[in-house]
Structure 1
């Protein structure tokens, strides 16, 4: 076989590939190496030296091999090369087999783009002086659909295809099927502004997502995204970058559904838009109801405040005289405790400090009476135990009893942290500074979180990101909504890139609009949360330094508080602050009752005499629920917040402290003697 015949077969094979696809692709390879592979693949003795070079070693064939030899088609995730054909020739067949196998072993890197119809040189002539020799070369003509006639360069066109494919692959990996189904259901019930415009796009993307999920290897996934990205167009290919894509990403990342939809509406809907229906669908409700009934949890949904009659002595670390009479199995009797007038907590600045572990193990067992000093800063630590109305109801939770708990503000742990998360902020960094205001009376002030990094760089609303240190202000509230606590958040995500030195955190009242309630703040590092509360009115333009955190790569983080104590008394859940309050019961959170270990964070609960929860606590939280219920987490999230918790006068409410949150509590203990201790959490 001559090369003239080979290029006919090559053109026929290329024409066949062209009929099966709208775009061709390139694989990433070293073109000089590929050219040498072509030359070296000829069987020994078949590529003889002709005067000064081998017969097929010419610049025309080299240009052809380098320009189009790495081109492939992708159909149904199968790669085909321009070399996939039979010649029935012992000289050329080994060559094209080698080229085909090598091309298939490489990764697709680009869409093939050409400005020219003719690839290579068909033939040319050489005059030796004795005769004229005709040379045939590898050559091909492209169908018109593969020729780019526009003004954009090949590099620009390839770059656009690469970008679309990159976004498409990210979309397939980061957007969950559940989020797509949820948004499609919202569209079907007309609960999403202009959602109908996206129904067809989302339905098609869901099909692509399901197909992508069935692929096993990374190479299959890469080929699939190249093949599909050139078919689906820019809207689907770049869905992640659209407003609906932002909604899908937020839902996929477990953002509260109502918050995610509000963020979407803030982008696309007019300011006076009112959503016509609830944020969950009837189908979601029906499916959840079927599962709850099937698993025997229907009786477990009704909840009430827990009382002393609900708990047993086995799960009590301490009880006073009145409580002991009612606790199942308890017989201890203690003396009545008296109330105290307001006291300045600074007067206890030098008391003995003990860890919570030492307090539980060594001090509580010998205590006859126990009071805690309730401070203003403990307002967010108020907690209630919640029990099932039906004592025999099956537990819905990850632990072996049917009890749950709810902190002030209807959260399972840190209220501020949960609100930052719901607002789209990152709460998983190595260092976090969050602020909150507008959580009482309507406070329209525009407060800003600031940080001065060790090198003097400021992270604030005017310069939100330091890409070098990974510090970023990711939540910035300018106009607080009535009834919605406002938050701002700065987080550093990479310890290795942070600068050593002191990070100065402050709050700036950029615009005073009548708010008089100050702010709350949290600083978190190494799994510990430091809480602050500033209860004074901030003047227009005033800056309040909250704390300074010093970072050393060897010793880690240390903190120096800057906000002074506030000793004014106020009422919290029926109790006066800045005085000692009698403790009825001390216990662990229910996930650590009956000597259970490792089911979430441990909380230490000090139930206070005459403490009455004045809020409407959640019946339960999704993070408490058994895994078998999580397929309906959107509905259960709504049920937990909307179902009434029946109140009782002798409820178990008081103070709660997470084992993961840095805090302290002044306690007065009476046993053989009386002493005041500071318990460190």
Structure 2
């Protein structure tokens, strides 16, 4: 912890109080921080002091601190900048004018980029026998596990530029129309862009609520800093197809056909051009530098890779032991219920099924679909110690599992399934939702893992750049080319795959549930 004792200027307790005040203020903050273009802060700091004290406070360590960190700010709900360091109301009396002056300069500044840092201490609390301005941050300002915080700050700045251009190109009514169409479930696999459409609508609403371009941009910066990186590049995302068609005044039928064509074969996740030799060389160098070369090797997942389930089958209760004085008496056979008397399935939402049926279910079977559906396969890393590259995989909480589907669906035979009903061996959330994580750009879903299910037609390693960490975005085309050129190893009977149920998308399924010896059918018709 930082010392509360001697101030930078011998005998001046006010300076020590100011250091404590800026530490308390900074560590009470929540939400993103931003670097600003506030300049001349150290000169203003000296100028605000009494003339006879300025030379004594002209300290190189304090200068470096103020120039590096003195301009940090947050964005309030009105789009105005608020200093993360200086506050005249909480500063000691001797430095109240100094703090007020610096806070005003920061408020008048403009954002240059998000502030991200892995440093455990900002500034030098002690040097040359004196105490100086310094902050010991209570939290680390980073948005990923990689060490290069500067790289991530730059990526967020580029994301702001991308979003800002998209807002200029796609008006609020255009974005609102796109959101309505996606919410209406009238477009195939709409959940792939639903979250991003809502993000754009919210951005327009936030900008329209304040006055002045700087305030509007400040709010965009704040929202971009908090958003999934996948939301922040609309022009290169699938949603651009829909927005462009709306902007062009196309009919719904034409827009829907264009959307379906882009979705076909998951092409929206794939670059349209092969990588150049230079791009391949740059990607090779970057992956070697990151120590992530082995992370691209993928395999089919097994049950051992599944970290979270919401249901597992239970073994049937053991029958009572034979015996008693009437053990030799043969009972009358129970009559079978005629097929015509079979009760119709109970129709309910998936959320209600989870609450009311799943807790007591001993066995679940899924009725074979009559058309192609989104059978879902799961994959994992070949090397358990490979560098995390998936958005939801971190060194502190490893989770290299991903998933894929075929746009337009798959025939049961392509997933090694036959018969009228398939046994459900487990139900798991999508991998990016395990351990309470939230990556709304990928939607919400469950996978009914089915006995014997595995993808028999996969011809690539199924690495989709949209699932990778943002710092790998620059190598999108090279990663996709690698995926297409390499087969997925590990195909076998222990693979896990099954039926995917997705919020806002495919959710209809007929399930046969055995609970305490009773069998009932349930038709799931929607998510909630």
TM over 0.5: no
Q: Which has the higher helix share?
A: 2
TM-score by length of 2: 0.44
More relative contact order in 1 or in 2 (CA 8 Å, sep 6+)?
2
Which structure has the larger Rg over C-alpha atoms?
1
Q: Which has the higher strand share?
A: 1
TM-score by length of 1: 0.34
